[in-house]
């Protein structure tokens, strides 16, 4: 009998064996030990959901990267592309009556379309937590503290959390037609000062807004940056952003603050962030190993308006960092 | 001092221009390394290591973070779409991406209808341009001597970089349409920018000053 062998896996899919598995499991075990000790309960959202769960929440960037297929009844479903969106949907529908606050943790795969490039997989292991029902700066700090905690437990000593607040940038783009807002967002994202200055001029931005836009790429640093940002803040929303970051700063221990850099010019976050947002960097890794922030409006999209803050870390990147320990 | 910033440079004329700029800010290539076959060239002041690579590879090295920063033409960035910072227009290496064809070529529609064939190295940029204009084309990806394609009947038009237009003229081709103009940009790896902020801010400021001077 003749059989045809299946020679390979699709691009972006991977078999994990031996050390690649043990290191990922070690990261996950470390994470769940820490999360459980702090009162976080594990949840496992479904592997696929109706695509709206991700298209409505995550913005066009995430929508463009969904892996979709048609369900039996003709509706479009997508593989889980983001834990936070799935958990927000889960909490707003299944746990709507829970008095809160809710502390939830997870670890598993997300699936995203990726262009063929260096190290871009279509299945990515992530881990993370969501703290739902607490709008306070203490809750923001609890999320940051979990990140610091798991990095320490894993023995990653040198890492950096770049922390900003989307409410500082949002008013600068307020009221612009979509194409102009997109042009400025692109310039902010690329830290292109010349394009920001040109855009502000061309779109007739008020002087205070133009000044803040051009300064955005440079608004990075330790506590002193908050003072400079405060002097550039236009309007109460931006002032609230700086006030919240000051409160967070005051709640951090010296040892935690060592890892935090304030970064007001970053708009990388997924579309649903509404307050603080952050990215985590480790020396020698060419991209962020984690991201998080506050997403107060997200649960309302599923019918339960509750504040929330959370983060996701890239388990694959953390596992690769452990390779050094073993040799 | 921390390790030097590693800068990916596109081999060729653009690399010479970039090195002149670095020289103006006091970071010339270490004379001991010049004219050797070394693959990584340190600057004499120890601030940088230059990494000469093919122009299309610059965004790959920078996005992956093995180079902290690099110099790439806007045309290359638009074609590859790397996820990197683009803080500075360096102004040199001007060229334009254009549609070209034989002087008597029908454009933007073929006489008598039919789907035009377009040979190019810049498939993504060409696809975006024609799609944006509602023109359906068949794209043929080739990697060199694009000017030959219409002469041999491989394509009706080409999309290619034009600097002086001499190569086109020598092959009996003319520019039919301009797509975009391009100059060299400084690009920076996102994570490196966060982790070595002071070094990158100094690099950007020094380059901006050298451009003015």
CA gyration radius, chain B: 20
Check whether residue B48 and residue B20 sit in a common domain. Answer: yes
**Residue A13 pLDDT class (50, 70, 90 cuts):** confident
Q: Once rounded to an integer, what is the mean pLDDT over residues A117-136? A: 88
Check whether residue B191 and residue B136 sit in a common domain. Answer: no
Which residues make up the CATH 3.30.930.10 domain(s) of chain A?
17-156+291-327, 159-282
Q: Once rounded to an integer, what is the mean pLDDT over residues A163-174? A: 93
Nearest-CB residue to A193 (from B87, B188, B194): B87
What pLDDT does residue A223 have? Answer: 81
Point out the least confidently predicted range of A12-16, A72-76, A233-237: A12-16
Check whether residue B82 and residue B112 sit in a common domain. Answer: no
Nearest-CB residue to B86 (from A115, A192, A281): A192
Q: Which residue of B has its CA nearest to A286?
A: B65
**Residues of chain B falling short of pLDDT 50:** none
A263 in contact with B, Cβ within 8 Å: yes
CA distance A21 to chain B (A): 24
Check whether residue B108 and residue B154 sit in a common domain. Answer: yes
For residue A91, is pLDDT > 70? yes
Six token digits for residue B70 = 């690099």
Check whether residue B41 and residue B79 sit in a common domain. Answer: yes
Q: Once rounded to an integer, what is the mean pLDDT over residues A292-319? A: 93
Q: Once rounded to an integer, what is the mean pLDDT over residues A272-301? A: 93
Nearest-CB residue to A118 (from B63, B85, B188): B63
What is the phi/psi pair of residue B164, to 5°?
A: -105, -20
Those residues whose C-beta lies under 8 Å from the C-beta of residue A243, and which sit 6 or more positions away, are none
Check whether residue B68 and residue B103 sit in a common domain. Answer: no
Complex ipTM tops 0.90: no
What pLDDT does residue A117 have? Answer: 57
Position with higher pLDDT, A3 vs B51: B51
Is there a contact between A263 and B201 if contact means CB atoms under 8 Å apart?
no
Check whether residue B18 and residue B87 sit in a common domain. Answer: yes
B191 in contact with A, Cβ within 8 Å: yes
Give the pairing type, strands A102-111 and A41-42: parallel
Check whether residue B153 and residue B201 sit in a common domain. Answer: no
Point out the least confidently predicted range of A111-115, A184-188, A236-240, B159-163: A111-115
Is there a contact between B195 and A279 if contact means CB atoms under 8 Å apart?
no
CATH number at residue B170: 3.40.190.10
What pLDDT does residue A100 have? Answer: 81
Q: Domain range for residue B149?
A: 95-181
Is there a contact between A286 and B195 if contact means CB atoms under 8 Å apart?
no
For residue A119, is pLDDT > 80? no
Q: Which residue of B has its CA nearest to A192?
A: B87
Is there a contact between A162 and B201 if contact means CB atoms under 8 Å apart?
no
Closest listed residue to residue A129, CA positions, set A87, A81, A80, A79: A87
**Residue A118 pLDDT class (50, 70, 90 cuts):** low
CA distance B169 to chain A (A): 35
Q: Once rounded to an integer, what is the mean pLDDT over residues A278-300? A: 93
Check whether residue B141 and residue B108 sit in a common domain. Answer: yes
> Pseudo-torsion of CA A306, A311, A316, A321, nearest 10°?
-160
Percentage of chain A lying above the pLDDT 90 cut: 71
User: Sign of the CA dihedral A185, A186, A189, A192?
Assistant: negative
Closest listed residue to residue A119, CA positions, set A11, A21, A27: A11
A203: how many CB neighbours lie within 10 A of its CB? 18
Helices (runs of H) and strands (runs of E) counted in chain B: 8, 11
CATH architecture under which domain A159-282 falls: 2-Layer Sandwich (3.30)
Check whether residue B189 and residue B149 sit in a common domain. Answer: no
Check whether residue B79 and residue B100 sit in a common domain. Answer: no
Nearest-CB residue to A191 (from B63, B85, B195): B85
Nearest-CB residue to B191 (from A191, A192, A288): A288
Position with higher pLDDT, A1 vs B146: B146
Is there a contact between B87 and A283 if contact means CB atoms under 8 Å apart?
no
**Residue A116 pLDDT class (50, 70, 90 cuts):** low
* Share in percent of chain B as helix, strand, coil (round to 5): 35, 30, 35
What pLDDT does residue A289 have? Answer: 96
A156 in contact with B, Cβ within 8 Å: no
Find chain B residues with C-beta within 8 A of A261's C-beta.
194, 197
For residue A310, is pLDDT > 50? yes
Check whether residue B80 and residue B141 sit in a common domain. Answer: no
For residue A1, is pLDDT > 60? no
Task: Name the pTM for this structure.
Answer: 0.90
Taking a contact as any Cβ pair under 8 Å apart, which residues of chain B between 58 and 77 contact chain A?
60, 63-66
**Residue A327 pLDDT class (50, 70, 90 cuts):** very low
The number of angstroms, rounded, from the C-alpha of B81 to the middle of its chain's C-alpha atoms is: 12
The answer to whether domain A17-156+291-327 has CATH 3.40.50.720 is no
Cα–Cα distance for residue pair B87/A173, rounded to 1 Å: 20
Q: Which residue of B has its CA nearest to A263?
A: B194
What pLDDT does residue B31 have? Answer: 80
Taking a contact as any Cβ pair under 8 Å apart, which residues of chain A between 159 and 188 contact chain B?
160, 162
Task: For chain A, give the mean pLDDT.
Answer: 91
Count of domains for chain B: 2
Find chain B residues with C-beta within 8 A of A279's C-beta.
194
Position with higher pLDDT, A140 vs B110: A140
Nearest-CB residue to B191 (from A221, A263, A286): A286
Nearest-CB residue to B87 (from A160, A217, A286): A217
Is there a contact between B65 and A285 if contact means CB atoms under 8 Å apart?
yes
First to last CA, chain A: 47
Taking a contact as any Cβ pair under 8 Å apart, which residues of chain A between 99 and 138 contact chain B?
115, 117-119
Q: Once rounded to an integer, what is the mean pLDDT over residues A225-246? A: 93
């Amino acid at each position: 009998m003749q059989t045809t062998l299946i020679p390979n896996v699709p691009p972006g899919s991977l078999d994990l064996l031996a050390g690649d598995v043990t290191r990922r499991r070690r990261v996950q075990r470390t994470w769940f030990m820490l999360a459980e000790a702090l009162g976080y309960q594990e949840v496992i959202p479904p592997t696929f959901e109706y695509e709206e769960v991700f298209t409505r929440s995550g913005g066009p960037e995430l929508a463009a990267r969904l892996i979709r297929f048609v369900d039996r009844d003709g509706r479009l479903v997508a593989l889980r592309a983001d834990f936070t969106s799935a958990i927000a949907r889960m909490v707003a529908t299944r746990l709507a009556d829970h008095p809160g606050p809710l502390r939830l943790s997870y670890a598993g795969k997300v699936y995203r379309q990726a262009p063929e490039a260096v190290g871009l997989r279509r299945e990515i292991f992530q881990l993370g937590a969501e703290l739902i029902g607490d709008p306070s700066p203490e809750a923001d700090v609890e999320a940051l503290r979990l990140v610091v905690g798991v990095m320490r437990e894993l023995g990653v000593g040198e890492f950096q959390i770049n922390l900003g607040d989307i409410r500082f940038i949002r008013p600068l783009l307020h009221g612009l037609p979509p194409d102009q807002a997109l042009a400025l967002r692109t310039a902010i994202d690329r830290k292109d000062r010349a394009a920001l200055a040109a855009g502000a001029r061309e779109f007739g931005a008020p002087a205070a807004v133009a000044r803040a836009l051009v300064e955005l790429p440079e608004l990075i640093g330790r506590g002193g940056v908050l003072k400079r940002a405060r002097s550039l803040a236009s309007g109460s929303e931006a002032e609230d952003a700086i006030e919240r970051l000051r409160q967070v700063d005051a709640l951090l221990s010296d040892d935690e603050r060592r890892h935090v850099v304030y970064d007001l010019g970053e708009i990388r976050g997924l579309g649903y962030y509404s307050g603080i947002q952050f990215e985590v960097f480790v020396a020698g890794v060419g991209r962020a190993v984690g991201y998080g922030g506050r997403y107060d409006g997200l649960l309302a999209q599923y019918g339960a308006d509750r504040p929330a803050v959370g983060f996701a870390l890239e388990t694959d990147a953390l596992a690769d960092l452990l390779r050094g320990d073993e040799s | 001092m921390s390790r030097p910033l590693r800068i990916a440079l596109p081999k060729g004329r653009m690399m010479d221009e970039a090195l002149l700029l670095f020289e103006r800010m006091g970071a010339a290539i270490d004379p001991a390394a010049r004219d050797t076959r070394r693959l990584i060239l340190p600057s004499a002041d120890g601030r940088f290591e230059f990494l000469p690579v093919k122009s299309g590879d610059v965004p790959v090295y920078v996005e992956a973070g093995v180079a902290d920063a690099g110099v790439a033409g806007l045309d290359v960035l638009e074609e590859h779409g790397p996820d990197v910072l683009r803080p500075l227009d360096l102004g040199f290496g001007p060229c334009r991406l254009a549609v070209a064809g034989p002087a008597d070529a029908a454009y933007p529609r073929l006489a008598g209808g039919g789907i035009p064939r377009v040979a190019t190295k810049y498939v993504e940029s060409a696809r975006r341009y024609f799609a944006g204009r509602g023109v359906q084309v068949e794209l043929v990806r080739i990697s060199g001597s694009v000017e030959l394609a219409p002469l041999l009947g491989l394509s009706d038009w080409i999309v290619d970089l034009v600097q002086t237009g001499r190569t086109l003229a020598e092959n009996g081709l003319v520019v039919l349409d301009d797509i975009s103009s391009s100059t060299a940009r400084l690009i920076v790896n996102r994570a490196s920018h966060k982790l070595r902020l002071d070094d990158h801010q100094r690099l950007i400021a020094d380059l901006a000053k050298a451009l003015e001077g």
